[in-house]
Amino acid sequence: MKKVFAAGFILFLLLYAGALLTRDRVVKPGITTIRWCTDLNPARTVQTKLFQSLNPDLEVVLDPGARQKLIVQCATGTGPDVIDIFNADDMAAYVDAGILLDLTDVAKAKGFGLENTYPAVHRGLVVGGRQYRYPCNVSANAVIYNRAIFDDHGVPYPDTNWTYDQFIEAGQRILNTPSKSGAKHVPVANFFSNWFYLDLLVACGGSLYRNQGLFSALDSPEAMYAMQFYRDLMYTHHVITTPTEAAGMTSQGGWGSGGLNWFSSERAAMIFIGRWYLCQVPNYPALKGKLGSARLPRVGDRPSSGRCNSRAAGINVKSPRREESIRFLQYLASPEYGRVIVQDGDSMPPNPALAQSGLALTNAVVPDPAFHQVFVDALRDSRSLDSSPFIDPSQVIRWLNERIGLVENDRVMPEEAMRSLAKEVNETIRLNLERRPDLQRKYQEVTGDAYRSDWWK
């Protein structure tokens, strides 16, 4: 039965590859087409058109659907040429699968090496000391707030160096002080719970792993404090809506669903988000002239800090258009591309030389340099999350999201949630090492010690 299944799977791959290779394609004489696996953000149209104007012999075609079948396509030699990868953990999996081209030497020679992007994201671009990606954009969260809502409640604007105590005070005043307009507002539009918690984790000095990725750090005092504080913001301080409260408001007319909608429709005073939010603002003309920004609040005496991330592109190692794809990554580091990112507000340009100050980032959406300077400073002081080679990162994030949901719904207390999560992660790492010789070799490479079955004792 196993042989029959294997033969059937191989036949499927061959037929699938044949279908892709023989499907109709528009051939333009003298033009080489590059397939870019990315999202369908409208900004991609502007970005690809500019690239084509600078490279008349090349054409870029978006291929967002490739992600669902990426490994199969790349294994059969029919995958996209340039692949956007949204986090470092997925990149490591693609490197292990032999999908991504090692860019280290060519990137340095062609101007898109690590020295041509932000130090905060370096760790998320390399595996084993080798570079496999270059950013399409880079992001670190800050607080964007609506000045009009603060004015409506008579609340001073946030200071750029504010603390969480000051944030709580401002949020409670917005919640409890009647507005001049008679409108009711919530303090914070919680756009994405995972981001909020991970920013708190970094702000508290926490991490995901310890001991070179062999153990979870999600039961550390910092990680448990961050989760407890996240719960307190909902149930003690009432500056973040609970899921029950959010569902009740969504059922009311006019609120819509989701934190992004709440802030954009001027129902919420603040949102914790990246500069990429500016891509949304043209759809909400009433927001023009009302937006301010501040750093993420500080935890105690610690400086403001949060998680940084990048949507970054790699090259399919089997692409027959390798040189053309390299030219595309060169373009990502260019001043021309950087200016497009600045003008449409799609986070931060990947080359930091183009974002030295808030003045360099001003655009038609928000012409105030002080607004943009907050994101320059936030990225400077942020850090990317650590990872482990011994466990599937998407699995850990899924488990973390499950615990966040339990805490948000007041079904489990934070300490219990984090201890059970760390236990689940640690048990899975041990099981993975027990079953997989490749990870045993990785253990020896990482620790310098021979693998033994009771390594964790």
pLDDT given at position 93 = 78
pLDDT given at position 12 = 44
The whole-angstrom distance between residue 432's C-alpha and the CA centroid of its chain comes to: 26
**Domain, as residue range, for 371:** 21-139+309-379
What is the residue-level pLDDT of the chain in tens, covering all 457 positions?
Answer: 444 444 444 444 444 444 443 344 455 678 999 999 998 887 888 999 999 999 999 999 998 876 667 666 776 677 899 999 887 767 877 888 888 999 999 999 999 999 999 999 998 899 889 999 999 999 999 999 999 999 999 999 999 899 999 999 999 999 999 999 999 999 999 988 999 999 999 999 999 999 999 999 999 999 999 999 999 999 999 999 998 888 877 656 555 557 788 999 999 999 999 999 999 899 999 999 999 999 999 999 999 999 998 999 999 999 999 999 999 999 999 999 999 999 999 999 999 999 999 999 999 999 999 999 999 999 999 998 888 989 988 899 999 999 999 999 999 999 999 999 999 999 999 999 999 999 999 999 999 999 999 999 8
Assign residue 123 the CATH number of its domain.
3.40.190.10
Domain assignment present for residue 396? The answer is: no
Domain assignment present for residue 337? The answer is: yes
Domain assignment present for residue 213? The answer is: no
pLDDT given at position 73 = 74
Domain assignment present for residue 93? The answer is: yes
Q: In the chain, how many domains are there?
A: 1
pLDDT given at position 63 = 86
Domain assignment present for residue 239? The answer is: no
